[in-house]
Chain A
């Protein structure tokens, strides 16, 4: 691989692939590699990893044009099925909420801002597909926060059902219904999404 990178941090292994923090031409970056799955035959494995990689890049691009903050993409390798992107030196929403020191000092405005951004993203027809509290990064920029969304590979161009599943995933993984309500309050199209969310929850399939 023709990159000037060396690993600076431990890697994280998810179900999809591994993520490592690296230096990319002196810029802090992360490399996300979709490793081969040996249970799949090579033809299918290559096809699936390629599709996901392309989808992730395409959706990040689309989200960016919808005015959603995403990490800059520095480098993509179809040979290694990897993306090198900007390292966002922030805190995931999950960590932000579970930080006990902050328990009485959670920024309600920040929650509404997340709601507004999600409304914008869904408004452009993009669903995330795996909108857990770990896939939202809060980055302090001067006196305000910027909200970054990461890991779009399960997403796509969606409809109300997809958007509602995004919101339910977020609700479940935030484990704080009161704060989730703050997010909902500032979400455009609040009534339709709430109705759809109730309908999906009733089906009982949703975890």
Chain B
């Protein structure tokens, strides 16, 4: 059975094609603003103008024809409204044209499900770190729950904002990671509140430090050390609370090697197991939507047109889980 999945919750438009065994295509195109952050309308325009080309590329990469597709999956939320609408419209059009069933997928759950698919993780705690999202997610008492999360901005958003302030173009994360290699310690806030974290204090303090003349390398290093340690701490607390021994990371920031090292150290010290999907499956991608849609469909889930409305604030605990 072949599932075509379209991802488009934020800046990345991705199309993936999977069957039960393999990811047979996974292509994407990212909207990168010339200046400033993501403008939702411009991102949506980017998605609509790149969709048909990307769709053809995915079919070509998979070496199939449109008639071979069995279901169409799409990211129904959470995300930016205009982007979600563009993707949902495309999904409905393709499904309608080919007379195929539609499956609306929760973006955050897709990050976890693709991790379970491509690593040996069975029942992990997911540390999901991206631009807009920073959450600790796991399957608990029959559903997916957020055990801990940011109380203000996502970690990627914090890194991007700091990058913008210091003249680094979007996305700033990889540049900050490089600068940090040569940095030394500067004091910044460390903000953990129970199971939650917050990043706006670090952002403010870091920009102040930069204004006062501290080197960009030192600040980049200290931002990473503080923010990542906070994430490790709440991940450890989530392991302790749920009694789970596996940790999976996902989201764009999960590609950061320093973050990976720190989480690995923490998990190994607790005699747990640590899993990282390949880079192209950490970031937003179509394959994770296609895969999750397929798993859902095989367990009896489909999304009627009338229920296919986008859900910009889609919470994972609203998802009825039939596949676990």
Contact = CB atoms under 8 A, between A and B. Distances in A.
A69 interface: no
B315 A204 contact: yes
Interface in A32-81: 37-41, 43-45, 47-48, 51
> Interface SS of chain A: helix, strand, loop or mixed?
loop
A48 B190 contact: yes
A51 to B, nearest CB: 8
Contacts, number: 57
Nearest to A45: B229
Contact of A39 (B149, B187, B232): B232
B263 A39 contact: yes
B67 interface: no
B190 A39 contact: no
A165 B146 contact: no
Contacts of B195: 207
Nearest to B135: A205
A204 B78 CA distance: 14
Given A39-B263, A47-B190, A154-B194, A207 B232 contact: no
A144 interface: no
Which of A43, A129, A130 counts the most B-chain CB atoms under 10 A from its CB? A43
A37 to B, nearest CB: 7
A206 to B, nearest CB: 9
B143 to A, nearest CB: 11
Given A14-B240, A39-B262, A39-B263, A207 B145 contact: yes
Interface residues on A, range: 20 to 34
Interface of B: 140, 145-147, 149, 185, 187, 190, 193-195, 225-226, 229, 232-233, 236-237, 239-241, 262-263, 265-266, 269, 315, 317-318
14 contacts: A15-B241, A37-B229, A39-B229, A39-B266, A39-B269, A40-B262, A43-B187, A44-B190, A44-B225, A44-B229, A48-B229, A130-B194, A205-B146, A207-B140
State the 7 A-B residue pairs at the shortest beta-carbon distance, nearest first. A15-B240, A39-B262, A39-B265, A15-B237, A40-B229, A39-B266, A43-B185
